[in-house]
């Protein structure tokens, strides 16, 4: 279980927002800033955070949609930048992505069968004669029927489209799937269906998930370990039971207390002051210091590093 599948070391991605006349960057958005973590084989690693915290950017770096500004990615022990072209291709095949918006992630001009067949064909995984059979198999895996193969995406509801997106990701037999908010655009009753499907597929295909979401309930349900991000930084990583029972970083505490919980006594809420600051000019020192209710001396001066405070529980906070 504890075999590391993917390891990320000091990964950063900066976007240049504005340059001066010489093309020198004058304002830079630090979407992901020196993030390190590891995902074990067969686990679901949850990544939570509010909008603009860089979780989606992180996911897109892993599937090679963005090139990182600095930092290293190890996949199955091999460093990504050291790979040759062929190995890189196989890396890309091994890591797939499920997108957030099922209305935007399927090409409206292709039938769903063609959408699922495409990755098999371009990666030459199967002889053409067997592709069709595989497509039908994948459709069945995600709970769609054979006769829907030749329909177009607009003929489907959001939940069904998300199933097509899942089938497309499965088509190349990936090892890791980055699920970028796969249920947040869906209705509550459909969310449960898709979450259960993801759970089943994980068992069936021995998958590893990086599960990105802003809903803490959803992340808790599906993940084994959870990382919390705030303004491009990982602030806490812990096994889910530990994280939800004993959150250490004040931001995690506030995040957990902000969620409305049904059928429990109305709890005392930590209401954070202010808004998430802009990632273009984040506060100095700890990024959370401008909103933190436990802020003290060193917070505004130094950026805290991730420390292991108890087995497998990592926190970046000056309190620890």
DSSP 303: P
Q: How many residues are present in the chain?
A: 320
Stretch (H or E) spanning 109: none
Indicate the residue among 283 and 298 with the shorter CB distance to another protein.
283
Regarding 261 and contact with another protein (CB under 8 A), the answer is yes
Q: Does the footprint of another protein cover residue 82 (CB under 8 A)? A: no
x/- site string to another protein, residues 1 to 20, per CB under 8 A?
Answer: --------------------
Helix then strand count (H, E) for the chain reads: 9, 12
H-helix or E-strand spanning residue 36 = strand 25-40
Q: Which stretch binds another protein (CB under 8 A): 25-33, 73-81, 252-260, 299-307?
A: 252-260
Which residues make beta-bridge pairs with 236? 228, 315
217 binds another protein (CB under 8 A): yes
Residues forming beta bridges with residue 233, ordered by sequence position = 230
Of 155-194, binders to another protein (CB under 8 A) are 155-157, 159-160, 165, 168-169, 171-172, 187-193
Choice from 70, 107, 150, 310 touching another protein (CB under 8 A): 107
Give the nearer residue to another protein in terms of CB position, either 94 or 132: 94
Q: Which are the contacts of 77, defined by CB distance < 8 A and separation ≥ 6?
A: 4
**What CA–CA distance (Å, rounded) separates 140 from 134?**
10
Query: Which region among 1-9, 204-212, 272-280, 311-319 touches another protein (by CB under 8 A)?
Result: 272-280
Out of 22, 86, 109, 147, the only residue in the binding site for another protein (CB under 8 A) is: 109
Region of 32-40, 72-80, 131-139, 212-220 interacting with another protein (CB under 8 A)? 212-220
Asked whether the beta carbons of 78 and 8 are under 8 A apart, the reply is: no
């Amino acid at each position: 279980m504890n075999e590391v599948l993917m390891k990320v070391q000091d990964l950063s991605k900066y976007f240049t927002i504005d340059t001066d006349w010489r093309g020198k960057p004058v304002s830079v958005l630090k979407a992901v800033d020196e993030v390190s973590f590891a995902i074990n084989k067969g686990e679901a690693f949850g990544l939570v955070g509010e909008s603009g915290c860089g979780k989606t950017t992180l996911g897109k770096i892993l599937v090679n949609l963005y090139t990182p500004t600095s930092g290293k990615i190890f996949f199955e022990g091999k460093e990504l930048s050291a790979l040759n072209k062929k190995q890189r291709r196989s890396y890309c095949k091994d890591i797939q992505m499920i997108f957030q918006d099922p209305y935007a992630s399927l090409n409206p001009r292709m039938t769903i069968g063609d959408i699922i067949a495409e990755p098999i064909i371009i990666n030459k995984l199967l002889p053409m004669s067997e592709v069709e059979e595989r497509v039908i198999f994948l459709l069945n895996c995600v709970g769609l029927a054979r006769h829907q193969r030749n329909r177009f995406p607009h003929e489907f509801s959001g939940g069904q489209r998300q199933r097509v997106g899942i089938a497309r990701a499965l088509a190349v037999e990936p090892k890791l799937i980055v699920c970028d908010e796969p249920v947040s655009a869906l209705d509550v009753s459909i969310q449960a269906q898709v979450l259960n499907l993801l759970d089943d597929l994980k068992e069936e295909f021995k998958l590893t998930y990086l599960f990105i979401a802003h809903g803490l309930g959803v992340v808790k349900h599906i993940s084994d370990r959870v990382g919390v991000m705030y303004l491009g930084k990982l602030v806490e990583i812990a096994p889910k039971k530990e994280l939800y029972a004993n959150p250490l970083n004040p931001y995690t505490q506030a995040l957990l207390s902000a969620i409305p919980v049904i059928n429990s006594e109305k709890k005392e809420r930590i209401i954070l002051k202010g808004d998430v600051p802009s990632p273009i000019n984040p506060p100095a020192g700890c990024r959370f210091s401008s909103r933190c209710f436990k802020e003290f001396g060193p917070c505004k001066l130094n950026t805290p590093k991730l420390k292991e405070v108890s087995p497998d529980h990592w926190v970046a906070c000056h309190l620890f």
